Chains A and B, each alone.
Chain A
């Protein structure tokens, strides 16, 4: 009488082991790539009720961030502009552009424009804009080159580890106070970001918190 199991089954276990190993490796790699903020958040680019272009307003018209995000320097929350702010110009310029319909509507009715939120931290995370921009961290560091964005999208993962990277080594991002809102700034030719950063870190005694309490209350 012959074997119950055919010959080929002798190699089966080895093949199974190899397959399992491969599958596990691929899963791990996939999860690390696809299921972390680097992938899930970065590039989030929803369509806004108004096709507002930062390129036109910042790049071409050279408006300062703070004209619209007026409280970024004093509040934890960097406000989006009120309809009033938009209308203070757009009553004259492009007063009847169809793109601005939503704004005019809001101005008429008093109902706010619902901008789709892009950068969103969890409720238990308390980020403060004022302290960052006042202590030499540029908008650029967290929001990327918004001035070049026709439509705003998320540029950084803004995950906890990403925050910690900077909180542990702020020198990689500190800038001269004058350049905070200059999206296009680069360190002068004769020096590097590190050098400048370290200099300011020394001078201003920049010592960002890395314990939970800094952000979670």
Chain B
């Protein structure tokens, strides 16, 4: 078994005719199974790199700041945020929808691409799923803590009690509670199931007792016998099948928080598909935002996360971005065509009201910017890709802000109109959630294989039991 640095150099190049014969491989440079285990495990086994400590030095304080802000919030009251009448929800729910949206790409990549037999997913799904979990963690903070009496939030759970009173199952918020918690649980199961064989790999490679113990326990004694693979593959297939409708339902339910209300600008049937498309859009942007630097750090990963992957993801961003753009225009059209003065006004104020800047930022980031991906150059030039995907990241936040805060600021009664202004607590809390997200992700790439080894091995040509046999 060679060590990481040795295997970092590419193996011998493909010859010209091989290039013609072989269909573009999913793993470049004829990497062997051994190399894959060696290299990916080495990231976990090798000594901790400096940049890792540097990044942690940034993200951990941010995380602590986030926690401090939340403590202040709970101790003092929701008033420390900028929320008011009429803007009862503002950055809290904006950030919730923003994070939960980001999460969706992970599940999507794992589940939908798995069902559609898109083998190229194998090299990115692990990281994407991890991203899902951490995003949902960040998202979960807000609905849990935005309530006025956090210590009473357990009333959301249908627990028999001495007051003999129950929940209102007609409330979209309760749907949310069930949807988000289900989503988180299933994502964890899905992610962990995928990890088991790779944990076994780490178990069998590691030297120290403590690692032997931890990875040993986590691997659950996986032996890789085909009698296990049989059930394993079935379970994985079922989970993928369950996650696909789940991920669609979760963001639909989130959109119900708005769509089922009577508020002009919220009360629209287009929300569920438009929210889901938006989520995929933002989620893929976030995957790229993270994977590109990760691969920059671990150069040889380019053999696994190929430019082809990036290209494909950019195409999806282009597609979903255009869907979102279509939804924006359709909203405007319906508002006009519906001839309801309140709806009409709501959309007019989005574009030309006091929050015009948020609306146009959203429009530019989500609709204009992705159009660059029509050109292969922008899809395949990593620096450009990374710059361009920052627009969807920001744009999707603006979208939620526009939908939530600016709609509430001007709804039915001009007498009750009022502006929302974020407070320093709002801002620091939001920044802090990025710290939390970063911390979790850094821990992940340090201690768990960030690429699904057994699946990558399975897509190698020599994994085919009939590899090299004459076709008859």
**Which A residues fall within an 8 A CB radius of B?**
4-5, 32, 36-38, 157, 159-162, 164
Contact = CB atoms under 8 A, between A and B. Distances in A.
Interface in B151-196: 160-165
Given A4-B212, A5-B216, A164-B164, 10 more contacts: A4-B216, A32-B160, A36-B162, A38-B162, A160-B162, A160-B164, A160-B165, A161-B161, A161-B164, A162-B162
B163 A160 contact: yes
Contacts of A5: 216, 221
B164 A157 contact: no
Sort chain B's interface into a size bin: 10 to 19
B208 to A, nearest CB: 11
Contact of A37 (B160, B162, B216, B221): B162
A164 B165 CA distance: 10
A157 B163 CA distance: 11
B163 A161 contact: yes
A183 to B, nearest CB: 27
Contacts of B212: 4
B216 A161 contact: no
A122 to B, nearest CB: 11
B157 to A, nearest CB: 13
Contacts of B164: 160-161, 164
Most chain A CB within 10 A, of B164, B213, B221, is at B164
A159 B161 CA distance: 10
Contacts of A4: 212-213, 216
- Mostly helix, strand, loop or mixed at chain B's interface? loop
B418 to A, nearest CB: 29
Contacts of A38: 162
A89 B213 CA distance: 81
A5 B213 CA distance: 8
A94 B369 CA distance: 95
Contacts of B216: 4-5
A32 B161 CA distance: 8
Nearest to B165: A160
B222 to A, nearest CB: 13
Contacts of B160: 32
Nearest to A35: B162
A159 to B, nearest CB: 4
Nearest to B217: A5
A67 to B, nearest CB: 34
A162 B161 CA distance: 11
Which of B162, B163, B164, B212 has its CB near the most chain A CB atoms (within 10 A)? B162
13 contacts: A4-B212, A4-B213, A4-B216, A5-B216, A32-B160, A36-B162, A157-B162, A160-B162, A160-B163, A160-B164, A160-B165, A161-B163, A161-B164
Nearest to A5: B216
B164 to A, nearest CB: 3
Q: 9 smallest A-B Cβ distances: which pairs? A: A161-B164, A160-B163, A159-B162, A36-B162, A4-B212, A164-B164, A37-B162, A161-B162, A4-B216
Contacts of B163: 159-161
A157 B161 CA distance: 13
B273 to A, nearest CB: 38
B207 to A, nearest CB: 12
A168 B2 CA distance: 77
A205 B113 CA distance: 66
Nearest to A37: B162
A159 B162 CA distance: 6
A36 B160 CA distance: 11
B279 to A, nearest CB: 35
A157 B162 CA distance: 10
Contacts of A37: 162
A96 B1 CA distance: 101
Interface in B213-242: 213, 216, 221
B100 to A, nearest CB: 30
Interface string B246-282: 0000000000000000000000000000000000000
B84 to A, nearest CB: 26
Contacts of A161: 161-164
Contacts of B221: 5
Contacts of A160: 162-165
B131 to A, nearest CB: 30
Interface string B390-411: 0000000000000000000000
B465 to A, nearest CB: 31
A107 B42 CA distance: 88
A165 B164 CA distance: 10
Contacts of B162: 36-38, 157, 159-162
Nearest to A212: B165
B211 to A, nearest CB: 11
A171 to B, nearest CB: 19
A16 B420 CA distance: 52
A185 B160 CA distance: 35
Contacts of B213: 4
